[in-house]
Structure 1
């Protein structure tokens, strides 16, 4: 069971943990934000005692320990007084909400992560062609988002939800790591709508107080 203390979120500024920070700000949920230097497994070795994987984010809420950013974002959103960030099982778009929330990491962010390894973190190893291949893979996988947003402003239930936070983060990351070339203008406009939100701006400002992730 959760304690009366606020959940503790361990993250690096600008990492996937931004999804969780953003969800907390949108939902008005208090969190104890613990910002770590990147990569924490090397620059904050004591963190391995909290999370043996050394990955971020990690949420600790009493006995609950969570390490998946989209799951944490959903979890925090359910703790808010306003439940509009979450699509309930009795709503028509519930299946789409689940699908896009999982789609964010399983399908979209994955090729970005590999691209960053080859094109940024280990580019001295001469794997430029591999980085280019994963960039193209990422762009091709945006088609589902693009088609979904042809006739709507947000992904599900005619409102902003955690699904937008999770998928929107991948588009935000694309702009930061040099992957905007293949992002359709419609998705750039969608990203602009998301990043104009006060909840997003507050989340970024909170994380800006700590070490940069990238």
Structure 2
């Protein structure tokens, strides 16, 4: 890979998911840290992502935003890592399915976080809470992998989403959810990514404390 790879993030954001995926690839990348309300909304970054949100990556002249898209894009950059099933394989279907399933899950979790009245199931992208969580639980129960015989970006995104929402008590910590999330969150790349972002958070806090003492 000759084109440079730049990662735009904040260590206390969904960028932690993209960081994990970057660490799984083993590709070299530069990190650009952005701050909420300032550099994240500045014209320079809006030229990368007009939404003014993280994460985003820039690979050469190609910009990719949204964790699902970033994960799939990066997986395809390193076919030797087998982070995506081969094109045309039977595992490709569930790979796309469970990555996309995180969209309806997020809709439900955001509605719960806002303490909103859940919409009519006929209008909601997630249908009913019972059906969505039951479907996900059935897919994860007694399974280590979602798409084929190798760890893929689908496993990463599902494990990361489960961890995120259970952390904030938005998602019931069902045994199938906790077991799947814990298994994959203990991968070396996931631990490396957490170490990087946790160190960045500590550095930000130290800088803030230093400013307060001046």
Q: What range is the shorter-chain TM-score in?
A: 0.7 to 0.9
1:95 lines up with 2:93 in the alignment: yes
Aligned length: 193
Contact 1:27 1:76 in 2 (8 A): yes
Q: TM-score, normalised by structure 1?
A: 0.78
Q: In angstroms, what is the RMSD of aligned CA positions? A: 2.7
- Name whichever of 63-72 and 171-180 sits farther off: 171-180
Contact map agreement 1:9 1:34 (CA 8 A) in 2: yes
What pairs with 1:22-171 in structure 2 (closer than 5 Å)? 22-37=20-35, 40=36, 42-44=37-39, 45-46=41-42, 47-80=45-78, 82-104=80-102, 106-116=103-113, 118=114, 128=115, 130=117, 141-171=132-162
Secondary structure at 2:31 match in 1: strand
CA contact (8 A) 1:27 1:82 kept: no
Deviations 1:113-138, CA, capped at 9 Å, x for gaps: 3434x2xxxxxxxxx4649xx9xx66
Q: 2:169 is matched with which residue?
A: 178
Q: Which has the larger radius of gyration?
A: 2
Please list every run of 5 or more consecutive structure 1 residues that lacks an aligned counterpart in the other structure: 119-127
Match of 1:197 among 187, 198, 203: 187
Residues 14-66 of structure 1, C-alpha deviations (whole Å, 9 max, x = no match):
432222211111121122122223xx3x1323233432211111111121111
Helix, strand or coil at the partner of 1:141: helix
Question: Which ranges in structure 2 are unaligned for 5 or more consecutive residues?
Answer: 119-123, 203-214
Cα displacement (A) at 1:8: 0.8
In structure 2, C-alpha distance between the alignment counterparts of 1:168 and 1:72, rounded to whole Å: 16
| TM-score normalised by structure 2 residue count | 0.78
The 1:169/1:155 distance shift into structure 2, 3 A limit, reads: same
Q: 2-side partners of 1:130 and 1:211: how far apart?
A: 35
Greater RCO, 1 or 2 (C-alpha within 8 Å, sep 6+): 1
Residue of structure 2 in register with 1:4 after alignment: 3
